[in-house]
């Protein structure tokens, strides 16, 4: 019996491609955000609102990841921004090579912010670096205030937490203060925005924050 030392990261191939993506994005001066959340928290709605409220201020492009259909890309397409749909055909997360290939389709378009909408899933996407600058985790008030404690890896790796559907607070069993406390106990550095894609509450503040990132 002999032992061979390997000492290699299982996802090293993905990490290497992600690093190449990151270098490419950097060379193009792009600010790249990876939107992650459970299904139905409002990722696509937030993208729509972000584009709508940043028109004339920020040029945005979108890579949409879904298990099936190009419905999300069609929604974003109405805003006349560069958009590519990735269909994972059952895959529960996006991987760096999928983003690399999708990006080639919009590489020559004129934009400064790239939003990658990951597959709705709070587990697997936390393992796969795509080459983004930051992960933005979206959590809606209907999902309950204990979500951050149940999916710590995702909240630990994110830089921004968007609490969506804030207008539903009077009708749902969600303690907003508790939700924020739980999120900050996993990651005290999280920048938190409270928004409603229905009433537009908080959207401008969020858009201004993005705008400050690209100026800096």
Site residues for other proteins per CB under 8 A: 1-13, 91-93, 121, 123-124, 126-127, 149, 152-153, 156, 184-188
Residue with smaller CB distance to other proteins, 123 or 134:
123
Closest CB 8 distance from other proteins, rounded Å: 5
207: which 2 tokens?
Answer: 């858009």
Least separation in angstroms between CB 193 and other proteins: 20
- In the bound state with other proteins, the residue whose beta carbon lies nearer, of 123 and 214, is 123
CB of 40 to other proteins, least distance (A): 17
Q: What CA–CA distance (Å, rounded) separates 139 from 176? A: 11
Angle between helices 12-27 and 96-104 (to 10 degrees): 30
Q: Which one, 156 or 198, has the nearer CB to other proteins? A: 156
Helix axes 43-54, 203-215, angle to 10 degrees: 70
Q: How far is the CB of 63 from other proteins (least distance, A)?
A: 19
Could you tell me the smallest distance in angstroms from the CB atom of residue 81 to other proteins?
30
Q: Which residues contact 192 (CB under 8 A, 6 or more apart)?
A: 160, 161, 162, 163, 180, 183, 184
For other proteins, the closer of residues 148 and 202 by Cβ is 148
Comparing CB distances to other proteins, the nearer of 7 and 212 is 7
List Cα–Cα distances, 115 to 11, 33, 70, 136, 215, in angstroms. 23, 5, 16, 10, 17
**Radius of gyration, CA atoms only, the chain:** 17
Q: What phi, psi does 199 have (nearest 5°)?
A: -100, -5
């Amino acid at each position: 019996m002999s032992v061979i030392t390997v000492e290699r990261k299982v996802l090293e191939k993905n990490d290497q491609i992600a690093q190449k993506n990151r270098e490419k994005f950097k060379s193009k001066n792009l600010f790249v955000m990876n939107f992650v959340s459970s299904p139905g928290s409002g990722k696509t709605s937030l993208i729509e609102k972000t584009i709508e409220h940043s028109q004339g201020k920020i040029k945005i492009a979108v890579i949409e990841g879904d298990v099936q259909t190009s419905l999300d890309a069609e929604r974003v397409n109405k805003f006349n921004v560069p958009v590519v749909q990735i269909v994972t055909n059952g895959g529960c997360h996006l991987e760096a090579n999928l983003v690399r290939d999708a990006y080639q389709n919009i590489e020559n378009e004129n934009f400064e912010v790239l939003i990658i909408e990951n597959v709705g899933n709070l587990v697997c996407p936390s393992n796969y670096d795509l080459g983004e600058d930051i992960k933005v985790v979206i959590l809606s008030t209907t999902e309950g205030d204990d979500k951050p404690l149940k999916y710590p890896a995702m909240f630990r790796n994110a830089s921004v937490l968007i609490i969506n559907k804030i207008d539903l607070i009077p009708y749902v069993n969600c303690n907003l203060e508790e939700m924020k406390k739980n999120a900050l106990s996993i990651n005290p550095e999280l920048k938190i925005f409270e928004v409603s894609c229905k009433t537009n509450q908080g959207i401008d503040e969020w858009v201004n924050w993005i705008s400050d990132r690209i100026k800096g």
